[in-house]
């Protein structure tokens, strides 16, 4: 990004934001050449983001809502993409776990700014089996497993030492029993109804394609206005 004066050099925040460069884009894509399955195009774009050196290209924003329509979002790590959908994981007693139990409708948003690319995946979330969830947990590092086992995610933390003690105790339990799986650890799959790909254009002639589920394993595609 080109060097810019600090925000204080601008009359207001709006002027500063408008001065920031935006929307780099890759060369245009021929819509006739996109694959029939959205997961194929997604994995192609993800591989290209990795090859281009995009930082943390596997991270995504998961958007959820409660049964009363209160919305929430957080950044997390994509764990897998397969014939069922896009996988992620976490604790069932976390805010996202409780929200998904109330309302399984959700969306994932991937953004690779250096490539000028975005993918939005929308659908319903299904819980993976106990075996899939256990495998996901056990594939994590020992530190990550200890934190997941000890954490009371999003609850107020009034004593840092309490956190350290809880993680240390969980770590000792994992060291004694390497097959231990934290209670309530869950792998979820977002089964998509719609997958939209967006390719930026500096002249605002953005390219957009949307896949819609046409059958259990089939998809229709359409080009959208920018």
118, 111 contact by CB (below 8 A) = yes
Instruction: Answer yes or no: is 118 a known binding residue.
Output: yes
Residues 6+ apart with CB under 8 A from 55: none
Nearest Cα to 119, choosing from 78, 64, 65, 79? 78
163, 157 contact by CB (below 8 A) = yes
Instruction: Answer yes or no: is 40 a known binding residue.
Output: no
Q: What is the largest CA-CA distance in the chain?
A: 60
Instruction: Answer yes or no: is 78 a known binding residue.
Output: yes
Kind and range of the H or E element at 167? helix 160-176
Instruction: Answer yes or no: is 99 a known binding residue.
Output: no
Nearest Cα to 211, choosing from 223, 225, 226? 223
Instruction: Answer yes or no: is 153 a known binding residue.
Output: yes
Instruction: Answer yes or no: is 208 a known binding residue.
Output: yes
Task: Give the angle subtended at the CA of 220 by the CAs of 218 and 225, to the nearest 5°.
Answer: 155
Instruction: Answer yes or no: is 20 a known binding residue.
Output: no
Using DSSP's 3-state secondary structure scheme, residue 188 falls into: strand
Q: Which two tokens mark 12?
A: 């207001």
Instruction: Answer yes or no: is 77 a known binding residue.
Output: yes
Q: Which residues pair with 107 in a beta bridge?
A: 63, 122
Please state the residue numbers annotated as binding site for FMN.
74-79, 96, 118, 153-154, 198, 208
- Known binding residues are 74-79, 96, 118, 153-154, 198, 208
């Amino acid at each position: 990004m080109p060097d810019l004066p600090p925000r204080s050099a601008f009359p207001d925040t709006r002027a500063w934001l408008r001065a920031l460069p935006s929307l780099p884009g890759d060369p245009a894509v021929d819509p006739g050449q996109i694959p029939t399955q959205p997961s194929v195009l997604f994995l192609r774009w993800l591989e290209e983001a990795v090859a281009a050196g995009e930082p943390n290209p596997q991270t995504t924003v998961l958007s959820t809502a409660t049964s009363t329509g209160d919305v929430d979002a957080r950044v997390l790590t994509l764990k897998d993409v397969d014939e069922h959908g896009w996988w992620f994981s976490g604790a069932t007693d976390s805010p996202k776990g409780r929200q998904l139990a109330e309302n399984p409708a959700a969306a994932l948003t991937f953004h690779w700014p250096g490539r000028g690319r975005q993918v939005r995946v929308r659908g319903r979330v299904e819980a993976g089996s106990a075996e899939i969830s256990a495998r996901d947990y056990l594939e994590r590092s020992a530190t990550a497993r200890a934190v997941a086992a000890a954490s009371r995610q999003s609850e107020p933390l009034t004593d840092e030492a309490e956190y350290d003690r809880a993680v240390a105790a969980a770590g000792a339990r994992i060291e004694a029993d390497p097959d231990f799986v934290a209670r309530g650890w869950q792998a979820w799959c977002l089964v998509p109804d719609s997958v939209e790909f967006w390719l930026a254009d500096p002249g605002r002639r953005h390219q957009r394609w949307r896949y819609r589920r046409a059958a259990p394993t089939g998809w229709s595609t359409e080009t959208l206005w920018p």
